[in-house]
Amino acid sequence: MTAIIQLSKLELSSDYLNKKFNDYRLYTAAILLTLIPLGLAEGIFDYKSHPEIRSELFQLRLYFLLLVIPAWIILKSSSLKLSTATILITLVFSAYLGIKIIEHSGEELVTTVSNVALYPFFIFFVLIGFSIYIQILFLTVAFSFVVLSENHGVLDELIQNVYFQISVQSSVSALLIMLVFSWSYYHRYNLQLALEKSSQTDPLTGVANRRHFDNQLKSETTRSARSSVECALILLDIDHFKRINDTFGHPTGDRVICALADLCVNQSRATDLVARLGGEEFAIILPDTNITDAKNLAERIRKHVEDVYVTSDAGEIVKWTISLGISALPVNKRSANTIEIVMEMFIHQADSALYEAKNKGRNQTVLSQQNTL
């Protein structure tokens, strides 16, 4: 039940629907383009079955060439709303074109039934990358036309009965396929999220790993260079961590690492990125932050660490301290260096400040005095 509720909410989420649409963008365009030769090919049968009106039917079938327009919009547009409106107009146009062809060819049982049976599945295939609510809405609208035609006697009684029965069967079948596909895509979406998260997360602490840190730092460095916004970097590690492992054991060392990771996350903002670079070393990327505000956060973390402890396997109280180094990207300063070089210098300056904090006796924060980025 929880999964169904979550799926119902996701089908209204712009992020989810944008991803779903992008996953099936090419497929949707291909379906629309495939309908062009299929629609024109039916004109071959018109020459045998309706020789007297074959030219009129052929002219109607030429309108299938217009499907190039929605296919092009689907491929090029980045707007989900525009793409949805385009597809809905295309479905209305296709239904109208089908009705006009039936009107010209007459009430042939085979022609009428085939159109009615296939249209719900046509709706599904064309709307496969869109919200399940849009799919159900349009399927309902299409079925309502069947009910209206029956109630108003648009078709003769024989075709009318077959028309309605086939419509019910095909609409229900298409609805079941829509629901099954949406459920399947929901599980695929969650699996992709889990895989993406695992590739970016340190398995011990749950914070970002080195790979995600490098990508995010490059992104923030690029943003800072282009938009002249501030960005700061804190590097920190646990003082005498080897002594903790040797004295209390590696499980206790892991608890210390996890406790520090939790503390960094709790003290940082939602926009900051806390990452474990390896071993006992951590980093915090602070977008839109100057070096003074970064120091305030670093000192807050350092002082909280002094009040935190973990318990060893033997029940002993284990306390520890950390050292921190900070660097910042200068604002409104153009650099001839590439982003990769700026990143390297950004990290180097914070690392040098951290090294200085270690040399000065540990358990302190040092700011980088360099400004050569």
Q: Is the dihedral of CA 235, 241, 242, 243 positive or negative?
A: positive
pTM over 0.75: no
Q: Enter the tokens of residue 266.
A: 């709790």
| 69 phi/psi in degrees, rounded to 5 | -65, -55
Q: Which of 11, 220, 230, 280 is catalytic?
A: 280
Q: Are 294 and 326 in contact (CB under 8 A)?
A: yes
Residues of the chain with CATH 3.30.70.270: 210-367
Q: What's the confidence (pLDDT) of residue 66?
A: 87
CA pair distance 347, 353, nearest whole angstrom: 10
Residue 104 region, left (φ>0) first, then alpha (ψ -120 to 50), else beta?
alpha
To the query of whether residue 280 is one of the catalytic residues in this protein, the response is yes
Give the C-alpha distances (Å, rounded to integers) separating 147 from 91, 105, 110, 163.
18, 22, 19, 10
Q: What's the confidence (pLDDT) of residue 151?
A: 46
CA pair distance 88, 249, nearest whole angstrom: 64
Q: Are 236 and 258 in contact (CB under 8 A)?
A: no
Residue type, 24: Y
**How does pLDDT run along the chain (373 residues), one tens digit per residue?**
788 888 888 888 888 998 999 888 898 888 888 888 877 776 666 666 656 556 666 777 778 888 899 889 988 888 888 888 888 888 888 777 777 766 666 545 455 556 666 777 778 888 888 889 988 888 887 777 656 655 444 455 555 666 677 777 888 888 899 999 999 999 999 998 888 888 889 999 999 999 999 999 999 998 888 888 899 999 999 999 999 999 999 999 999 999 999 999 999 999 999 999 999 999 999 999 999 999 999 999 999 999 999 998 888 999 999 999 999 987 655 555 678 888 889 999 999 999 999 999 999 999 997 654 5
Q: What's the confidence (pLDDT) of residue 311?
A: 92
* CA nearest to 192, candidates 68, 15, 71, 372: 15
| 6 phi/psi in degrees, rounded to 5 | -65, -40
Give the C-alpha distances (Å, rounded to integers) separating 117 from 121, 125, 160, 167, 170.
8, 14, 13, 6, 5
Q: Which residues contact 311 (CB under 8 A, 6 or more apart)?
A: 255, 317, 318
CA pair distance 166, 101, nearest whole angstrom: 19
* CA nearest to 331, candidates 287, 282, 296: 287
Q: What's the confidence (pLDDT) of residue 148?
A: 60
Around 11, how many Cα atoms within 13 Å sit in the side-chain half-sphere?
24
Fold of the domain spanning 210-367: Alpha-Beta Plaits (3.30.70)
Q: Is the dihedral of CA 59, 62, 64, 67 positive or negative?
A: negative
Query: Hey, is 363 helix, strand or coil?
Result: coil
Q: What's the confidence (pLDDT) of residue 369?
A: 77
Residue 366's H or E segment, with its range, is strand 365-367
Give the C-alpha distances (Å, rounded to integers) separating 120 from 34, 41, 109, 132, 168.
17, 21, 18, 14, 10
CA pair distance 265, 205, nearest whole angstrom: 11
* CA nearest to 327, candidates 277, 359, 360, 373: 373
Residue type, 38: L
Helix ranges (DSSP H) in the chain: 2-10, 14-23, 25-49, 54-61, 68-76, 80-105, 109-126, 132-151, 157-200, 210-227, 241-248, 250-267, 291-306, 339-359
